[in-house]
Amino acid sequence: MFSQTESGASSHHAEATRKSVLQVIGQLGYGGAETLILQVSVGLVSEGHRVGILVLDSADPALLAQALAGGVQVWCCNASLWSPLNALRIWRAARAGSFDVVHAHLFPSLYWAALASMLFSKQRFWFYTEHSTSNGRRRIKTLKVLEGLAYRRYRMIACISPEARTSLLSWVPELPVCIIENGIDFERFSGARALDSGVLPLPAGKKLLLMVGAFRPEKNQRILVEAMLYLPDDHILVLAGDGGERQAVMAHASNLGISERVLFVGVVRDVERLFKRADVYVLPSLFEGFGISALEAAASGVPIVFADVPGLADMMEGAGWSTNPRDARDIARAISEAVCAGKESERVRKAKDVASRFSITTTVQKYKRLYDSH
């Protein structure tokens, strides 16, 4: 039903006192939540926990190798995200690995892990992390009862920001929740060298505007492309990442006649070095649970333009340049101000200070305490 990959470090020797943890996720790619789960898992292994990741669909080979190198056990099901059999797959992996904790992330893992807990297992602790402040399901009132049943199957729900907690409790009240904010490897981004042109050819003598993220509607790349119409011709937009909306965004740039000013570079492995090449980082998301890439850009010392939405505006605390994510002209206005201010501006320094307070080490320690306390 699923294939298993594991390293020698994933044996049971490390679990004398620490609870063993099975992370459940739909896909293991380069999205913010996915990379965070991987970093936390590797960090937990270093703290003495035995950790596995069950990927319902597929995993990027490079991230799979990174997990194995960090001592994390991995199962890839290569199954449909929407198959009810995923509940059985979760139970089988939890039983085969004798995991104490099952920790689900993102939709639809939310449903399948809840179903598994209902049908198959009462001996394990079940947790969920709420990674966003909004989602399309909350516009469908008929789903509220189903969502309530799913969320209430979990012993504890970790929300990645106060805004995520408020949003969740307004949808399903009286849930057991805590806040565990995301973190980044600050030194990795602050100390990186800029990506050279031999690795990724980028135009010289231009102002490079960067966005890193999955191509999904809520990430709002379409409006960011439209903002290029209101910026000088020497401004080039670099979009890194992949996803279902990529072809539509490429077609949109072509229809606007600005294809030569919008570069689609795909997934970049050494993303910290790409940040160093940018003159401005832009995150125009319609909603964000936390905005890890904004923190990574801030740690890199790059001016940041970010959407004035919960989860971003509160986190940035007056650093960077905020904008209305639904207004292409306003995005262009904020970009122009950030370009003029440059990397030595006070707002960039403030943003770097903000980023330094969100450490992946702190995030790992909070999850460790969560597991050990149950």
Domain ranges, ordered by start, for the chain: 3-183+359-372, 186-356
Nearest 10 degrees: CA dihedral of 267, 269, 275, 281? 20
- For β-strands 21-25 and 51-55, DSSP reports them as parallel
E strand spans, 150-243? 156-159, 177-179, 207-212, 235-240
> What digits encode the pLDDT tens for the residues 33-90?
999 999 999 999 999 999 999 999 999 999 999 999 999 999 999 999 999 999 999 9
Alpha-carbon gap, residue 336 to 371, rounded angstroms: 46
What are residue 104's DSSP bridge partners?
Answer: 24, 128
pLDDT score for 349: 96
Mean per-residue pLDDT, 178-184: 96
Alpha-carbon gap, residue 224 to 173, rounded angstroms: 35
Mean per-residue pLDDT, 18-43: 94
On the question of a common fold for 3-183+359-372 and 186-356, the answer reads yes
Domain formed by 3-183+359-372, architecture:
3-Layer(aba) Sandwich (3.40)
Q: Is 83 exposed, middle or buried (0-12, 13-18, 19+ CB in 10 A)?
A: middle
Q: How confident is the model at residue 2 (pLDDT cuts 50, 70, 90)?
A: low
Lowest mean pLDDT among 70-84, 253-267, 313-327: 313-327
Give the CATH superfamily of 186-356.
Glycogen Phosphorylase B; (3.40.50.2000)
pLDDT score for 14: 40
In this predicted structure, the answer to whether residue 8 has a pLDDT above a threshold of 80 is no
Using an 8 Å Cβ cutoff, are 223 and 323 in contact?
A: no
Alpha-carbon gap, residue 219 to 289, rounded angstroms: 12
Q: Residue 124, Cα to own-chain centre: how many angstroms?
A: 26
Lowest mean pLDDT among 75-79, 163-167, 259-263, 314-318: 314-318
In this predicted structure, the answer to whether residue 13 has a pLDDT above a threshold of 70 is no
> What digits encode the pLDDT tens for the residues 185-223?
999 999 999 987 767 888 889 999 999 999 999 999 999
Helix (H) or strand (E) holding 186: helix 186-190
pLDDT score for 3: 55
Instruction: Report the number of secondary-structure helices (H) and strands (E) in the chain.
Output: 15, 14
The pTM assigned to this predicted structure is 0.88
In this predicted structure, the answer to whether residue 10 has a pLDDT above a threshold of 50 is no
Q: How confident is the model at residue 11 (pLDDT cuts 50, 70, 90)?
A: very low
The b/e string for 130-161 (b: 16+ C-beta within 10 A; e otherwise) is: bbbbbbeeeeeeeeeeebeebbebbebbbbbb
